[in-house]
Amino acid sequence: MTYPVRELLEDPAVLARFMSSVDTTSDPNGCWLWTAGKGANGYGGFSINHKAYYVHRLAYEHWHGTIPKGPYKLYVCHECDVRHCVNPDHLWLGTSKHNAEDAAVKGRRPAKLTASDVREILASPNERGVDLAARYNVSKSTICRIRKNEVWQHVDRQPDQ
Ligand SMILES: [Zn+2]
C-alpha cells in the first residue's frame, strides 16, 4: 500500500463509489458505517485500480489531509472504536511519540503492560479504547496500536489477525 492516498477520493466517480458503501444515517453515535467488504481484522477495504486500501485511512486523508511522514509512524485510530467507521470526525492520528509524551505529561514512566493484560485487551473488542486505556493506565494510542497488531505482536492472537 502506498501513501499518500489523499488524491484517490478526489476523483468524483471514485468518491461516489466509495460513499455508495457508506451508511451515514443508521448509527446512533454518528458512525459512518462501511457496508462493503471488511478484512478479517474488521477494517473496511476498498479497491481503486486493483489496489486495496483501508477505508478509514482513505477517509482520514480525504477529509483531514495527507498523513504526514515523519520520524514517528502514524496510526489512524477510531475515537468510536468502530473499526469499519469512516466518519472523519471519529478518526484521529495516534503516534508512538504521543505515547511517550502522554506518559511524560502525567509524570510517570510509560506504563508496563503484561502479556496477560494484552490478551485481555484483545479479548475485549467491544470495549471502548478510552475505557481500556484508563483501566490499564496506558494511552489510547497504546490500545489502538495493540488492536492494530503494531505492538505486542508476540502475544498469541486469533489466527486471522
Ligand atoms: Zn465512528
For residue 31, report the distance from its CA to the centre of ligand 1, in Å: 4
What local confidence, expressed as pLDDT, does residue 3 receive?
Answer: 47
Separation of CA 27 and ligand 1 centre (Å): 9
Q: What is the pLDDT of residue 4?
A: 59
161 pLDDT higher than 50: no
Ligand 1: distance of its center to the CA of 96 in Å?
Answer: 22
Q: Does 156 reside within a domain?
A: no
Predicted local confidence at residue 134, as pLDDT: 87
Q: How many Å lie between the centroid of ligand 1 and the Cα of residue 89?
A: 8
**Average pLDDT estimate for 43-60:** 94
- Highest-scoring range by mean pLDDT, 44-48, 97-101, 117-121, 122-126: 44-48
Average pLDDT over residues 72-95: 88
Of residues 107 and 48, more confidence is placed in 48
Q: Would you say residue 118 lies in a domain?
A: yes
Instruction: Judge whether 142 lies within some domain.
Output: yes
Q: How far is ligand 1, taken at its centre, from the CA of residue 61, in Å?
A: 16
Domain of 112 in residue numbering reads as 6-147
Least confident of 75-84, 91-100, 142-151: 91-100
| Ligand 1 midpoint to CA 150 (Å) | 21
Instruction: Let me know if residue 29 belongs to a domain.
Output: yes
Q: What does the pLDDT read at residue 51?
A: 92
Q: What is the Cα–Cα distance from 125 to 132, expressed in whole angstroms?
A: 10
The answer to whether residue 57 is domain-embedded is yes
Mean pLDDT, rounded, for 53-65: 94
Q: Which three cell numbers stand for residue 20?
A: 455508495
Condensed to tens digits (0 to 9), the pLDDT of residues 34-51 reads 999 998 888 999 999 999
Q: How far apart are CA 49 and CA 52, in angstroms?
A: 8
CA 128 to ligand 1 center in whole angstroms: 11
Give Rg (Cα) of the chain: 16
Residue 161 falls inside a structural domain: no
**153 is a domain residue:** no
DSSP letter string, 13-61 = HHHHHHHTTEE-SS-TT---EE-S-B-TTS-BEEEETTEEEEHHHHHHH
Q: Given the C-alpha cell 485510530, which residue does it identify?
A: 77
Query: Comparing 83 with 105, which gets the higher pLDDT?
Result: 83
Tally of structural domains, the chain: 1
SS3 for 154? coil
